[in-house]
């Protein structure tokens, strides 16, 4: 049951949170637009496309601005209460820091849940769309380092069909050194090799060049061979979109699609370490909002005389220190020094301990 004090604390917190979020989003939009304006103008990107680009970017800006906004909101809302001596009156009435923290921590939990939904629905979808815009309209000086050429691709179409490509151009839809193997009961039934494959948009078929098509009987013996050096149209059972999935960045996939992608890559024998670290980060990063709330509350009340100024200064250390540990853990995970799970959660664990220690020190 929410009492008057809880309602008062939540209103103070949510008002500052809303203003902070609007401020961060506005700053991010202006800075990003200034940074990208010359690229848009040089490539003559239509205004409608630029507008769409930033509509798709808004969820990302909201996601990275939410933890900082939550921390600022805690510092300013509680700092104002301390500055007006309202915190002193609460202590005199027998209200402890733990009781004050309950509604704010619950708010942090809700923000973390919202952050997970935001990152795994709107942000991943928005990243995919804005990367597509960057690839299709901003052809020069791409900021996202999008892969236009893939190398050493291994795909498993189903349990029987295995496909490999040494090199594939996404824009041209042309592949080199293509191999398709159709397996029966552990026996090759069919094998297609081609030096070059090219997608025909009009017919929805592949044109293969300098190729060989071999068929085998139930005993694994070759019974039919077709060899050609002219362009021939054929259905290879795979589309450019399926090949392009290899180029998608983890940021373009939500947690569930990323899990499916990892399983598929493992089946194809592809190293998935970086993908697994990114998948766990999609959960751990959502808890950033709760962590900063836990750390921010005691920072304000631990030094009552300078609560607002001390809290503001310490909050800068908290947010940058937290992000530093997130990146540090991520790099250790990418290098295989830590397991993907530990590397993704190391920042949360450390700052959770710091937050609990600060609470213990500031108890009344």
- Parse the chain into domains and list their residue ranges: 4-141+273-361, 149-239
Helices (H) and strands (E) in the chain, counts: 11, 7
Alpha-carbon distance of 157 to 159, in angstroms, equals 7
Angle 200-146-196 (CA atoms, 0-180°, nearest 5)?
35
Inter-residue contact 2 to 103 (CB < 8 Å): yes
pLDDT of residue 304: 58
Structure tokens, 138: 């901003």
- Decide if 275 contacts 335 (C-beta within 8 A): no
User: What does the pLDDT read at residue 92?
Assistant: 78
- pLDDT by 10-residue block (mean), the chain, 364 residues: 78 91 93 88 88 93 90 85 78 79 90 91 85 72 57 70 83 88 77 91 89 84 84 85 68 80 68 84 89 84 61 72 86 88 90 84 65
Q: In angstroms, rounded to a whole number, what is the distance separating the alpha carbons of residues 194 and 173?
A: 15
Contacts of residue 16, defined as CB under 8 A and 6 or more positions apart, other chains included, come to 72, 73, 76, 77
Predicted confidence at residue 245, as pLDDT, reads 65
Long-range contacts of 150-159 (CB under 8 A, 24+ apart): 150/243, 150/246, 150/247, 153/243, 153/246, 154/268, 154/269, 154/270, 155/238, 155/242, 155/243, 155/246, 155/268, 156/264, 156/267, 156/268, 157/237, 157/238, 157/242, 159/183
Q: Tell me, what's the pLDDT at 171?
A: 78
Secondary structure element (H or E) that encloses residue 190, with its range: strand 188-200
Rg of the Cα trace of the chain? 27
Quick one: pLDDT at residue 306? 56
Question: Residue 304 has what DSSP assignment?
Answer: G
Q: What is the pLDDT of residue 311?
A: 60
> Which phi and psi angles does 201 have, rounded to 5°?
-60, -40
User: What pLDDT, on the 0 to 100 scale, is given for residue 198?
Assistant: 93
What pLDDT shows up at residue 185?
67
Q: Could you tell me if 144 and 247 are in contact, meaning their C-beta atoms sit under 8 angstroms apart?
A: no
Question: What's the full length of the chain, in residues?
Answer: 364
Q: What is the structure's pLDDT at 2? A: 59
What pLDDT was estimated at residue 17?
92
Q: How distant, in Å, are the alpha carbons of 3, 199, 236 from that of 232?
A: 76, 11, 12
Instruction: Please tell me the predicted confidence (pLDDT) of residue 29.
Output: 93
pTM of this prediction?
Answer: 0.70
């Amino acid at each position: 049951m929410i009492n008057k004090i809880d309602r008062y604390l939540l209103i103070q917190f949510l008002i500052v949170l809303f203003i902070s979020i609007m401020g961060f989003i506005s700053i991010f939009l202006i800075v990003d637009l200034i940074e990208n304006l010359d690229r848009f103008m040089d490539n003559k990107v239509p205004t409608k496309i630029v507008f769409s680009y930033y509509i798709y970017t808004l969820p990302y800006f909201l996601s990275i601005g939410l933890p900082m906004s939550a921390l600022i909101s805690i510092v300013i809302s509680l700092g104002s209460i301390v500055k007006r001596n309202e915190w002193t009156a609460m202590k005199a009435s027998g209200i402890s820091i733990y009781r004050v923290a309950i509604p704010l921590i619950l708010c942090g939990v809700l923000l973390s849940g919202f952050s997970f939904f935001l990152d795994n629905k709107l942000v991943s979808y928005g990243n995919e769309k804005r990367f597509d815009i960057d690839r299709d309209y901003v052809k020069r000086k791409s900021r996202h380092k999008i892969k236009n050429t893939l190398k050493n691709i291994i795909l498993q179409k189903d349990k029987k069909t295995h496909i490999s490509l040494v090199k594939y151009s996404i824009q041209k839809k042309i592949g080199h050194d293509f191999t398709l193997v159709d397996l029966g009961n552990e026996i090759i039934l069919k094998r297609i090799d081609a030096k070059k494959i090219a997608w025909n948009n009009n017919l929805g078929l592949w044109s293969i060049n300098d190729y060989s098509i071999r068929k085998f009987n139930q005993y694994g013996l070759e019974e039919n061979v077709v060899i050609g050096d002219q362009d021939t149209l054929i259905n290879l059972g795979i589309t450019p979109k399926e090949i392009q999935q290899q180029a998608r960045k983890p940021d373009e996939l939500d947690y569930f699609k990323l899990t499916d992608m990892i399983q598929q890559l493992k089946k194809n024998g592809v190293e998935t370490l970086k993908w697994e670290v990114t998948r766990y980060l999609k959960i751990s990063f959502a808890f950033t909002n709760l962590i900063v709330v836990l750390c921010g509350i005691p920072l304000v009340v631990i030094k009552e005389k300078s609560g607002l100024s001390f809290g503001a200064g310490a909050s800068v250390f908290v947010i940058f220190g937290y992000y530093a540990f997130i990146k540090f853990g991520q790099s250790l995970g990418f290098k295989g020094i830590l397991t993907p799970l530990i590397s993704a959660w190391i920042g949360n664990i450390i700052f959770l301990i710091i937050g609990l220690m600060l609470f213990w020190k500031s108890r009344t």
